[in-house]
């Protein structure tokens, strides 16, 4: 485990955040809206989920309950400050409501920022981060439709600043979801490549959380169990996406990994991943997979205990008690099964872009929790090795 020894730690444990899990639970969303104190709902989602009918299941439940609602589906794959500002305008003109965020990480992250801005009339996405004490956002109910980001576990969204071409964090404790509604039936129709990319994201959350400088006994408990569940069930769900048991297990594993990362923070895989996405538009999980192997190798000298926990969580037998090698091989094998890793040039990166990606990665606050100190030159070497 990363972080300080127990005797040096001051722990404050707040299990924090209500989770409701169950197949078919989407029908109970109106109850959760009412429990949050509202009788109206603004559904924030993306056009793809609207097109495949997932959003219809949510709106059908709201209609049956006689609950007034509006669907706002103008959220793209990497939501920007402009999209968040537009969403906040829609929310303000619709009027006070609970925000029901339906989607993968992008709609969930955008919805948090929209909820916060809706509670702060006149505020903008670019300006809200600088406010010392913003007013509370509107209540948020998170309904994940992928098993990966863990965005339902915290009140912060990763949003792209369209001008600066970098990721910014927008959030507040008031927009941490009142309820995370985990319904594995919503993930049954996910295409295999999305299952793989979001699954590798969840696995990386567990692995990076175990090695994070911010890890503590609680995050490590969540992360170790997440790695065990995901290591076992990701290959199964990738083989057969209609296997509801596998979908349920992976959804729970991703949720545990999200709870872990919310406590511990992550590390350099995410630092580089965010930068790659900002500069090339590569989906988050695909960006992580491109550098995962090399970053773990780079971190190995500073993360022996965490890698031993990773190997034990993955139930692999160490060769010559080489836990680090065993962990690397096991993570590599799962990544290989999911088939997500690509060279950077296949993701649209050019040689000229690599120094800028490296600088963004080192500047990203998420990199601050990496177990090994990292320079721009270190990142550049990693990027060039997978170019």
Q: Which residues bind Fe ion (CB under 5 A)?
A: 201
Of 128, 163, 149, 245, the closest CA to residue 194 belongs to 149
Taking the complex as a whole, the smallest distance from the CB of residue 40 to Fe ion amounts, in Å, to 32
Cβ nearer to Fe ion, comparing 154 with 249: 154
In the complex with Fe ion, the residue whose CB is nearer, 87 or 104, is 104
Sheet holding 18-21, edge to edge: 18-21, 179-182, 140-144, 98-103, 40-44, 68-72
192-211 vs 304-313: helix axis angle to the nearest 10? 140
Q: Which is nearer to Fe ion, 33 or 261 (CB)?
A: 261
Provide, rounded to whole angstroms, the least separation between the CB of residue 37 and Fe ion: 31
State which residue, 186 or 292, has the beta carbon closest to Fe ion: 292
The nearest distance, CB 150 to Fe ion, in angstroms, is: 7
- Closest residue to Fe ion, judged by C-beta, is 201
Q: Coil, helix or strand for 18?
A: strand
Whole-angstrom distance, CA of residue 252 vs CA of residue 234: 12
Residue 163: alpha-carbon gap to chain centroid: 23
State which residue, 201 or 308, has the beta carbon closest to Fe ion: 201
> Who's near 205: CB < 8 A, 6+ residues apart?
150, 223, 226, 254, 257, 258, 260, 261, 266
d(CA 370, CA 273): 13
The set of residues, in sequence order, having a beta carbon less than 8 Å from that of 197 and lying 6+ positions away, is: 148, 283, 284, 285, 286, 289, 340
CA 384/CA 355 separation, integer angstroms:
10
DSSP 22: -
* In the complex, least distance from residue 5 CB atom to Fe ion, rounded to whole angstroms: 28
Backbone angles phi, psi at 159, to 5 degrees: -120, 145
Alpha carbons 376 and 357: distance in angstroms, whole number: 9
When the beta carbons of 41 and 289 are compared against Fe ion, the nearer one is 289
CB of 258 to Fe ion, least distance (A): 9
Collapse the DSSP code of 347 into the 3-class scheme (helix H, G, I; strand E, B; otherwise coil) and give the result: helix
Alpha-carbon span 233 to 35, nearest angstrom? 34
Q: Which is nearer to Fe ion, 176 or 270 (CB)?
A: 270
Q: At closest approach, how far in Å is the CB of 148 from Fe ion?
A: 7
Pairing of strands 156-161, 166-171: antiparallel
> Which tokens sit at 231?
């290591």
Shortest distance, CB of residue 149 to Fe ion, whole angstroms?
6
Minimum gap (Å) between residue 281 Cβ and Fe ion: 16
Q: Least CB distance from residue 357 to Fe ion, whole Å?
A: 17
Nearer to Fe ion, 62 or 207 (CB): 207
Nearest residue (CB) to Fe ion, 152 versus 201: 201
Q: In the complex with Fe ion, which residue's Cβ is closer, 139 or 265?
A: 265
Output the smallest distance, CB 65 to Fe ion, in A.
33
Contact by Cβ (8 Å): 51, 103: no
Residues 6 or more apart whose CB falls under 8 angstroms from that of 20 comprise 28, 32, 179, 180, 181, 182
DSSP state of 80: B
């Amino acid at each position: 485990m990363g972080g300080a020894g127990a005797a040096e730690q001051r722990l404050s444990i707040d299990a924090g955040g209500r989770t409701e899990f169950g197949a078919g639970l989407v029908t109970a969303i109106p109850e959760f809206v009412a429990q949050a104190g509202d009788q109206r709902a603004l559904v924030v989602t993306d056009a793809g989920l609207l097109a495949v009918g997932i959003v219809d299941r949510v709106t059908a439940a709201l209609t049956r309950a006689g609950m007034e609602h509006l669907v706002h589906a103008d959220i793209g794959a990497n939501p920007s400050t402009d999209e968040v500002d537009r969403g906040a305008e829609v929310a303000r003109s619709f009027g006070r409501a609970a925000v029901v965020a339906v989607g993968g990480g992008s709609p969930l992250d955008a919805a948090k920022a929209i909820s916060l801005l809706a509670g702060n009339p006149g505020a903008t996405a670019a300006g809200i981060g600088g406010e010392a004490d913003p007013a509370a956002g509107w209540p948020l109910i998170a309904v994940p439709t992928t098993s990966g980001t863990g965005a339902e576990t915290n009140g912060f969204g990763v949003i792209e600043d369209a001008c600066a071409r970098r990721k910014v964090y927008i959030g507040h404790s008031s927009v941490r979801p009142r309820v995370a509604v985990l319904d594995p039936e919503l993930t049954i129709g996910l295409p295999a490549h999305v299952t793989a990319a979001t699954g590798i994201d969840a696995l990386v959350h567990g692995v990076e959380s175990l090695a994070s400088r911010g890890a503590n006994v609680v995050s490590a408990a969540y992360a170790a169990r997440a790695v065990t569940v995901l290591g076992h069930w990701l290959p199964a769900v990738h083989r057969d996406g209609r296997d509801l048991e596998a979908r349920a297990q992976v959804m729970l594993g991703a949720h545990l990994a999200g709870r872990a990362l919310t406590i511990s923070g992550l590390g350099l895989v995410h630092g580089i991943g965010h930068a790659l996405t900002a500069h090339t538009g590569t989906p988050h999980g695909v960006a992580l997979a491109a550098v995962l192997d090399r970053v773990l190798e780079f971190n190995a000298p500073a993360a022996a205990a965490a890698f031993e926990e990773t190997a034990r969580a993955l139930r692999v037998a160490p060769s010559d008690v080489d836990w680090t090698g065993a962990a690397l091989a096991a993570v590599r094998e799962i990544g290989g099964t999911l088939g997500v890793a690509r060279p950077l040039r296949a993701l649209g990166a050019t040689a000229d872009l690599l120094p800028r990606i490296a600088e963004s990665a080192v500047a990203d606050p998420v990199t601050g929790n990496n177990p090994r100190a990292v320079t721009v030159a270190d990142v550049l070497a990693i990027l060039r090795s997978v170019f």
